[in-house]
Structure 1
Amino acid sequence: MSRSKPAAGAPAKTAGAYLDGAVFLSGACTLVLEIVGTRVISPYYGSSLYCWSAIITATLVALALGYYLGGRWADRNPEPTIFALACAGAGLAIVTIPLARSWLLPATASLGVRAGSLAAALALMGPALVFLGTLTPIAVRLRTDLLANVGSRAGRIYALSTLGSVIGAMAAGFWLIPNFPISKILYGCSMLMLALSAVCLAFSRSGWAWAGTAAAVCVAFYGWRPQDSRRTNILLSRESPYGQIKVMDFNRHRYLLVNGTTQSLASLDTLESESEYARAMEWAALLRPGAERALVIGVGAGLLPMALERNYPLSVDSVDIDPEIIEVARTYFGFSPKRGAATVEDGRTFLSRCAAQGRRYDLIFLDAFATESPPYHLFTLESFQVMRQALEPDGILAVNLVSLVHGKGGRPWRSAYKTLQAAFPGVRAFMASDAYEGLANIVFLASAGPLHDEKAHSRLRPSIKADVLSMLSRELKVSGPEAQREALLSDEHAPIEFLLAESALQWRRGLQQRVPDILLY
């Protein structure tokens, strides 16, 4: 094998160190892109198992193509300029991601969650990942001077690339995403790759080194420009470990959104809930007028726990896995419980501790969502059994689920109903909001005690009376044959995301039709 020039006019050791460093950094960029990619497509497709599968598939396909092309390019022209051009291609492709998503995501939404998320991931992330994939085989070719050491050189290059990926994964999850907007992370990756290209061209004493430097500077100025001042209705946009959190004012309402889906809706005048289902869920408290302690799993904007504490003699504890959500609820929605505590913890582990310590609640409200789907482990038979253990003997579990109501689209709520029946002697299900394109909030009440109380009607407050009576008039039933066909959700098998795929897409379509410009900016 003939010796290839590592960098014209530069000491071989310096050129080799540059290649090692560039491969390490490109490996880091690859994993940052893969992890950030879920946040890029989440405004239209959520962060479900389908979206992660789409991102991973797109990454592997693009890298495979990049490895193939990089090997061919390196054999045809084993010069540092090829490496520099591949770095530049990656940088320019990355900068198109935040620019193209505003029109590309709506264009793919009609394909559905599975095909649409895969198409979006391939179109947005694919070109950059292909260029990043070419760098490793090119670097192997440039770093190999003798056939006798090709194995050790290739092993070194792939080890550095993989170590870079480890650092990139840690940086994305532990530092970048929680602290920076997604677009700025992408612009930063683009600048890095363009800078690597400029350095390589400078080593090669190419007259094009200035072009890579100029491109990196342009990306820096564009990426860190002041945000559009017309978007003053957006009060907050923050990344948390569990999703992109936004707070916005729109049509005299304040919205809390996570990954582009509405989690809470409040009146701007009172900061009280404007959601029918949230007011209707108070029926559980009216069925147990002697209740003293309640637990809300899934804080959201804190509207439900505050309403319960304000209107009933209850001590209301709240639990949410995302500390940022609790902080946002306090800052923008007036969440300040006086007779209960807000805990940052997974709802199920919190319940397990309560059951183990003998701590019981009269009421438990399950209103937790990972964007448009609930965390699957909270909707299994084993989870509902733990909730029953954490309830007083006649306590009530109230559960909110967003689902299509009829036909095959209604499988999610029917499966949840069947699973609740396996854990509680008494279960009732109601449509707690008007259906929008067949989609509605389904509220379940489950208990070992009675779920009927005619006297409770006399205790209805005027502000919730219409919503509660509307809910009670729309009770849903599951026949024996229907229940037999539905899945019993368990820790071993809980396909809740699969069952909710159609409902989730309908939820997002409805939001996009009502307030489309809050999703991408």
Structure 2
Amino acid sequence: MKNISKSELSLSRSKLYSLALLEGGVGIAIEVFGAKMLAPFYGTAFIVWTSVLGVTFFSLSLGYYLGAKISQQENPQRSLLKLILASAFSIEFMLIFATPMFSFFGNMNIYIGCVFNFLFLIGPALLCIGTFSPIIIQLLSDVYTTGGKNSGLVYSLSTTGGIFATFLLGFYIIPTWGISIPLLFAGIVMLFIWIIIGWKFLTFINKIVPLLLFSGVGIFLLLPAKFNKEAAFRIRYNTEGLFGQLKVVDKHDMEAGYQARHLLINGIPQSRILNKPSAYSCWKYVHKIAMYSSLKKNGKSAVLFGLGAGSVSSELARLGLRVDAVEIDGRMLEIAKKYFYYSDTSTSVFVDDARHYLRTTNKKYDLAVFDVANGEVQPSYVFTKESFQELKQCLTPNGVVLIEFQEFLEKGKTPVFMSIMRTMENAGFFVYFSADAVIGFTDIIIVASPLQVDFSLLKRENMTICCAAQPWSQEILANLPSSIKVYPYDTFIFTDNQPMLDILNLVTLRKWRENMIIFSKEELAGGYRLYR
């Protein structure tokens, strides 16, 4: 590469401003793509986003520091071109080394592994990106005007690029194109910036070698994966979106002896059915919800928060209920119809957030069912006092609320679901619960109503044929949901100001993710990528 003088660079003002703009957009893309790539492995819990933000700021701050040092060198232009090229290759290497890093760090403690995975996955690219701004500011200050004005312009352009990239990624690029192709394109963008800015200063060898290497990396990444035909599962559908990765997986259950179809959100099972048109749910909680819903059967109105693959919605429809299903992810209905035999035409589906729907609807419901989860995370803002007060306004006087809550119960530790019950009671509900186990992973069904619930109305003849035929249906009738007279001292009332659910439920979130890392490793061994 030839030496570049300041006078030669004086014509490159617009190019430097363009680089500042693109730097912000590419930096945000690296952060978002990195988080999306690791979501199927580590999830999207609060602790995961803490790792993402921590690694992002650490890498950028180190880049800013190094950029400041480089900007004081004799010829920072030279270093800037090298760093632009290094950033392009760092982005592409994210795709190459992501899978080996998943396998290596997956054997560590989940939180330590998460931090190190992010650090080595997105750290090098963000470090390179972080060096740009100080060097650009110095180059502009040397040739044009004062440093303060240039600093403001550069950081304003960088932030603007980040804003545009955020909306473009979330609402169009990731849902439409996934992760691999856009990330490859981001690297190509940085390569073309390198070519445009440094074209007249680069020798032929300087130009052709990086282009050939980059082309080789791109071809390698676009080659189709080789799948293990003997793997015990098949991935039928895989898509990325604003609300996470959705994946449809067929897997043979060796113990039960049947083929099951799963819907996974960020690697965590959301639905599981027999893979046949009957679409019988393999999970007990779905049928328990249907049993308790029979208290309001035949012509009553119901609202279901969380459509998923349609298992609960189908059960409610079989009871003759008029169902409104509220689902925040618009992809769910299409997936339910195409892969989970969902054919209910009597249910009205609204693509909306649960809290927003509660605030804006004018309808009154006899039954409200909450089956909400994004992977292992159940949204804390739905389980606050304010949310339950809004819910109460949407119920008939004797309306019933059913909440499905998953928790890993530990001996000697107060369950988190009791805080949800206490919060509901504080919001003016009579509250009951039914748990399948007293220790380990279990499904808890919380039953609530503005009036006391008459469980004597819960009869086998009012249930669907499917639910009444369950071998444990008599046990459900014999062990009706119970209330808590005095709540333990270490339970909480969740509010919008202090949601706290994610923190209290941290053990459950970690246990869920640790269990699913095992399946993620099976996917990698089967030749599948964790992301699209």
Both structures adopt the same fold (TM-score exceeding 0.5): yes
Query: Is residue 2:137 matched to residue 1:140?
Result: yes
Asked whether the equivalents of residues 6 and 16 of structure 1 are also in contact (C-alpha less than 8 Å), the reply is no
| Corresponding residue to 2:305 among 297, 310, 314 | 297
Change (3 A) 1:275 1:515: farther
The equivalent of 1:327 in structure 2 is 334
- Residue 29 of structure 1, CA deviation: 0.3
Query: Is residue 2:315 matched to residue 1:307?
Result: yes
Specify the code of the residue in structure 2 equivalent to 1:286. Answer: S
Change (3 A) 1:470 1:110: farther
Q: Distance in 2 between matches of 1:106 and 1:74?
A: 38
| Corresponding residue to 1:226 among 218, 224, 227 | 224
The equivalent of 2:421 in structure 1 is 417
Q: Distance in 1 between matches of 2:218 and 2:195?
A: 15
- Residue 37 of structure 1, CA deviation: 2.6
The equivalent of 1:258 in structure 2 is 265
Q: Distance in 1 between matches of 2:294 and 2:184?
A: 53
| Corresponding residue to 1:353 among 346, 355, 360 | 360
* Correspondences of 1:114-125 after superposition (within 5 Å): 114-125=111-122
Q: Distance in 2 between matches of 1:6 and 1:329?
A: 61
Query: Is residue 2:524 matched to residue 1:520?
Result: no
Q: Which stretch of the first structure deviates more once superposed, 400-409 or 497-506?
A: 400-409
The equivalent of 1:495 in structure 2 is 500
Specify the code of the residue in structure 2 equivalent to 1:386. Answer: E
Specify the code of the residue in structure 2 equivalent to 1:306. Answer: S
The equivalent of 1:210 in structure 2 is 208
Asked whether the equivalents of residues 4 and 78 of structure 2 are also in contact (C-alpha less than 8 Å), the reply is no
| Corresponding residue to 2:430 among 423, 426, 432 | 426
In structure 1, runs of 5+ residues without a counterpart are none
- Residue 82 of structure 1, CA deviation: 1.1
The equivalent of 2:440 in structure 1 is 438
Q: Distance in 2 between matches of 1:484 and 1:420?
A: 16
The equivalent of 2:344 in structure 1 is 337
| Corresponding residue to 1:397 among 401, 408, 424 | 401
Q: Distance in 2 between matches of 1:338 and 1:29?
A: 44
Point out which structure has higher relative CO (alpha carbons under 8 A, 6+ apart): 2
Specify the code of the residue in structure 2 equivalent to 1:245. Answer: L
Q: SS of the counterpart of 1:484?
A: coil
Q: SS of the counterpart of 2:443?
A: strand
Q: Distance in 2 between matches of 1:409 and 1:82?
A: 57
In structure 2, runs of 5+ residues without a counterpart are 253-258, 524-528
Per-residue CA deviation, residues 123-174 of structure 1 (Å, 9 max, x unaligned), is: 2211110011111222223333359633333433333322222222222222
- The percent of aligned pairs where both chains have the same amino acid is 23
Q: Which stretch of the first structure deviates more once superposed, 63-72 or 215-224?
A: 215-224
Change (3 A) 1:105 1:229: closer
CA RMSD for the aligned pairs? 2.9
Asked whether the equivalents of residues 110 and 514 of structure 2 are also in contact (C-alpha less than 8 Å), the reply is no
Q: SS of the counterpart of 2:455?
A: coil
| Corresponding residue to 1:506 among 511, 514, 518 | 511
Query: Is residue 2:199 matched to residue 1:196?
Result: no
Per-residue CA deviation, residues 273-322 of structure 1 (Å, 9 max, x unaligned), is: 11111111112123334562222110000111112213x12222211111
Q: SS of the counterpart of 2:160?
A: helix
Q: Distance in 1 between matches of 2:120 and 2:48?
A: 14
The equivalent of 2:255 in structure 1 is none
Q: SS of the counterpart of 1:404?
A: strand
The equivalent of 1:277 in structure 2 is 285
TM-score by length of 1: 0.89
Q: Distance in 1 between matches of 2:472 and 2:377?
A: 24
Q: Distance in 1 between matches of 2:519 and 2:412?
A: 26
- Residue 469 of structure 1, CA deviation: 4.4
Query: Is residue 2:134 matched to residue 1:150?
Result: no
Change (3 A) 1:11 1:392: closer
TM-score by length of 2: 0.87
Change (3 A) 1:439 1:302: same
